[in-house]
Amino acid sequence: MKFDKVLIANRGEIAVRIIRGCKKLGYRTVAVYSEADRNSLHVGEADEAVCIGPAPARESYLVIENILQAARATGAGAIHPGYGFLSEREAFSAAVQEAGLTFIGPDPFSIEAMGNKSASKIRMIAAGVPCVPGYQGDDQSDDTLVAEAKKAGLPVMVKAAAGGGGRGMRLVHDEADLLAGIQSARSEASNAFGDGQLLIEKAVLNARHVEIQVFGDRHGNVVHLGERDCSVQRRNQKVVEEAPSPAVDEDLRARMGAAAVAAAKAVNYVGAGTVEFMLAADGAFYFLEMNTRLQVEHPVTELVYDVDLVEWQLRVAQGEPLPMTQEAIDARRKGWAIEVRLCTEDPAQNFMPQTGPLLAWRAPAGAGMRVDHGLRQGGVISPFYDSMQAKLIAVGATREQARHKLLQMLDETVLLGVSSNRDFLAQIVAHPVFADGRFSTGFIAEHFPAETISASREPDSLHVALAAALLYRTAADALQASAGIESELLNWQSSAPAAVLFRLKAGEKVFDIKVKALSAGRYEVMLPDATKVIELTSLGAPDLRYLCDGIAGRASFALAGDTLWLSHGGLTLAYRDTTLAAAEKGAAGSDGRLVAPMDGKIVAVMVEAGAAIIKGQTLAVLEAMKMEFPIASAVDGLVEVVSCQPGQQVKARSLLIGLKPAA
């Protein structure tokens, strides 16, 4: 069926990317949105938009009938699923086709054949695609899985058969941890995908994660567009992706590409897909899974091969043959591209997802730079969806050129109001092991343990001094505006300049500082270990220019109430002015109040009122941004009150459980 209008069944950066790809070819576009996304960028970019339900994805983006109704109401002839949500649900592909619409993706059979890791692995073995030894049978009892893990030989990977994204996945080294790992993976898989089926695979340690982009049409053609290296991962979730891979030569690329094409042909694949492999240190590679959709990291392939994969998807969906042969594709490969995923998460708090208002957002722009995002300054990062907000992609003639360009992009990115991993990404890209290209999937765990990340969050004296000077200046500006004081009189005093005491808090760190106004825009900032004279030469949020110790510099800032967000020298911190605040209590939970660390949904409550508990015991589990977070007691004691229940949406800082600490 021919179409001229496309509905995008997704949100955020991928929805914006597809909308722009459609418009490039002259297609009209329809956005769908939840009530939480009413003012989102993708809604404004589309020609038409339809609200499909409340904020929770299960009531909006995951409701097939609501999406089909939106297509019928707007006359859209095709639906593009993006990635995530319904993109790999064979039921969605089938429903779209049964409604007489075009699904811009593979047929239901292909999705079903590759959607279950166990079934797809069996199919790949039959097709001659190299696979990791393990167990992918139907007997899912704990005893069988434990026995098969021992048979494969530890360490093993326990993996959810459905879904992906690192959820429902556990690496088990010791036999004593097997049962707990299996039960934990099953529980997470059931919650994330509604399917607790698991498979066991022999763990290939110190391996690289290398995937091949494949593309098929309805004329029997299947090609590959080289590889992407996605080895830099945290908790089995990709952080950095690049094309080509530093570990792949022409011979290996040809062999991996041929295996990926064989995998796609085994399921009659149509459209864009990715076959993922583990690449061992000895050069052997093993099939992991096939993602039957466009990947998050598709831009690096587009930049290296100078193609538009969304355009290819649209042309193939219209019944056209692939626009290039394998030989023509191979001849186009040029240069290097590296992508990082910009997420609203706090590295200093074990990467806990963050929500809240976006006070400042500015994407870098220039030659060799690409940013895919769905952000709007003044918008709100909600707890209902994934924490990834944008992708920064740099391209260069060589890997080193692309790497330096990416560091520049990260430095020029402004994201304030919500904690992000921007600074952490810059540390990764600047790391000598990453620069050398000799890393495996264990790179982050090995080189960025929690203590290293914490140490990197310590501000230097200039960072703290800038924060104090800014707070002094903004307070003075507010006084001038409210009291109508003439600007030339603002810092006038009848005696020598007096120092003003500030107490600032960043994370758990407290800074006692004195600030003295020397003249308009010039301040002496006295810290316990240093004194800085700072001149604020240009001030216009989010941009700041200053002069200190004879050096002119720049920073970014945003102010919200008593909190100043400051980004300078590769470090972004939120300073809270606690000068007049009451003394704070002890550690979170030590006063007997367990509160929600962020907006989210309660998925489990493990205790009842009257229960005796011990320090460190998990009492409830909160789900936010597709992840689960245990709420543990900081003390021994008794449960006095339980103020939450499974399925309940809670706001950050709301009381979940009240305890009576032991005497």
Catalytic residues, which ones?
293
Residue 35 per-residue DSSP state = G
Q: How far apart are CA 92 and CA 84, in angstroms?
A: 12
Tokens representing residue 168 in the block: 């429902």
Q: How far apart are CA 616 and CA 619, in angstroms?
A: 9
Concatenated DSSP letters of 625-657: TTEEEEEE-SS-EEEEEE---TT-EE-TT-EEE
In sequence order, what are the residues at sequence separation of 6 or more whose Cβ sits closer than 8 angstroms to the Cβ of residue 612? Answer: 637, 638, 639
Alpha carbons within 13 A on the beta-carbon side of 203: 20
Distance, CA of 626 to chain centre: 11
Q: How far apart are CA 258 and CA 264, in angstroms?
A: 10
In sequence order, what are the residues at sequence separation of 6 or more whose Cβ sits closer than 8 angstroms to the Cβ of residue 597? Answer: 352, 622, 629, 631, 652
Q: Look up tokens 């950066």; give the residue.
A: 13
604, amino acid identity: A
- Cα distances (Å, whole numbers) of residue 208 to 275, 295, 339: 14, 18, 17
Q: What is the SS3 assignment for 201?
A: strand
Taking Cα atoms as reference points, which of 153, 120, 115, 113 lies closest to residue 136?
Answer: 120
- The phi and psi torsions of 325 (rounded to 5 degrees) equal -85, 170
Q: How far apart are CA 80 and CA 92, in angstroms?
A: 11
